[in-house]
A and B are shown apart, each in its own frame.
Chain A
């Protein structure tokens, strides 16, 4: 196996605050890699957006970190432990993209959020008073304390999204991974959602937000990673991202590709481009 070293990067595999570290990682389903050669380190306290158009591989990347698909190459370490030996998965909070919380049976917001606590209490443990307090606090953080006993199908789309965030928080995770938290949510709810995420930022929650549009979330981010065509195309701060985006635009217009930006050419089109028609609200 080829040893991959990244001497230019300040973080080695031993970076002490690395929550997630991927080295030459590839992910896919049934041995067919969708995403290859991923080097990515997410440190404690970072708010990272993983952006890219549909089919770019960003969801595959996220599911790879969560252990929901197959790793085809490279290494993944979580909290400094190789993912194959990492069993404390409750430390990773997952907020999936779902449109209904409980379609087949009735359930309350509190009941859904309580399932998030189960990962912390083992096979046979019962939810104790302390666990119920954590559940109640999680609902409070997302602003739904008054809806704890509301049946979830009567909640709005944005509120249901917040129930899913509360469910992840109930496990008291060290990192939150969110899949398209704002997709399909109306403007008013997007602002409430952004406020909720801001509250989490204030609490130093490490977050990875997978999204195809930055929208209201952009102000919260400390870093942007662009995935397209199964590779990471860009990795930097929002300022660098804005600069690269402008630069590529300019470049694209003048039909003069310089070598360094060749890999970023995909930035010129796609949903990242705020002036592009695809960037519209759903």
Chain B
């Protein structure tokens, strides 16, 4: 590893991976939430047209790609809001127009070789220039801060757009901000994973994190974790294995997803078989059910006929016998407190 870090371009590559691995899943979770998992892919297509224009005109491809992706992002979001029927088709026109235009324009540029095209489509982290790196760092910081500050609002709009509109949360501006964040992430990740694989780094870590998370905030943290492991791990592995960094990163992310799915699946089966379910009852335990609430570890149990009941996925788990007889609710029948039998948890 020390060997890796002494190589100058590897240092740059790892820093770029660190930036991309953090911001791509951060933005991606909102795309997953809005069921727009593939929109990053489309923006990558449009960014290629921007790269091509940059190569032909001799300006920085990163900047022209950024402009193209940003324009596409705003147009797409406006189309989504306006067009009720053909928005989907309009997106397809923009995306494929972008990639076709990109390929044709690149062929006319002085260094329009297939190798050059591949570099942008699949990433070539090892050619990242120092100047690019500063720009990427600046953009990544901007993405991270904006996403973090607006996180509750982006969550609210993605969660229930109609409600957000009804209570006066600025829905369209927030959706445009998310589109702009997506476009910027695409450009930052362009060198590292390539325009055709960017979407994977935004979406796949989130797919894995949703398997383990129990809340939105923990989902976000897990996704950043998976993203960082994939991107930094992928770059580190690609050097000794002599493989393209973009593909290695995405394969690692997919591998993490598969392993997570297997592990959580097995754990759920084992856990599901092991726990005792309380007998069914019509009422719901809560502040006013009359059954005393007892803190039990990280949750609250309710004392029901001397047994501890804990809410679990639509039923109640049997958490054993309650021993503080004096705290039993009078409403539950005054006689029960004397007659608690030392039973074990029973299934219905």
User: Which residues of A are interface residues toward B (Cβ below 8 A)?
Assistant: 66-68, 87-90, 92-94, 96, 98, 101-102, 104-108, 111-112, 114-116, 118-119, 123-124, 127, 140, 143-147, 149-151, 154-156, 158-159, 167, 171, 188-189, 192, 195
Contact = CB atoms under 8 A, between A and B. Distances in A.
B32 A115 contact: no
A66 B168 CA distance: 10
B214 A106 contact: yes
B267 to A, nearest CB: 16
Given A88-B168, A111-B216, A189-B284, A105 B29 contact: yes
Given A107-B216, A115-B159, A188-B283, A154 B313 contact: yes
**What 7 A-B pairs are tightest by C-beta distance, nearest first?**
A89-B168, A115-B156, A119-B167, A94-B166, A154-B313, A143-B286, A107-B216
B155 A144 contact: no
B288 to A, nearest CB: 6
Contacts of A127: 152
Contacts of A192: 284, 286
Nearest to A146: B300
B138 interface: no
Contact of A123 (B170, B214, B293): B170
Nearest to A95: B163
A196 B7 CA distance: 65
Interface string B145-163: 0000100110110011011
Nearest to B312: A154
Given A90-B168, A105-B33, A146 B287 contact: yes
Contacts of A156: 284, 314
17 contacts: A89-B167, A89-B168, A94-B166, A96-B166, A102-B159, A104-B35, A111-B217, A114-B152, A115-B155, A118-B152, A118-B169, A119-B168, A143-B284, A149-B214, A151-B215, A192-B286, A195-B288
Nearest to B155: A115
B314 A105 contact: no
Interface in B119-167: 149, 152-153, 155-156, 159-160, 162-167
Given A68-B166, A143-B288, A96 B160 contact: yes
Nearest to B174: A123
Contacts of B284: 143, 156, 158-159, 188-189, 192
A171 to B, nearest CB: 6
Interface in B265-297: 282-288, 293
Contacts of A195: 288
Interface residues of B, number: 44
A174 to B, nearest CB: 12
A96 B219 contact: no
B35 to A, nearest CB: 6
A158 B283 CA distance: 12
A90 B293 CA distance: 34
Given A87-B168, A118-B169, A108 B216 contact: yes
Choose among B159, B217, B311, B313 the residue with the greatest number of A CB atoms under 10 Å from its CB: B159
B182 interface: no
A146 B285 CA distance: 9
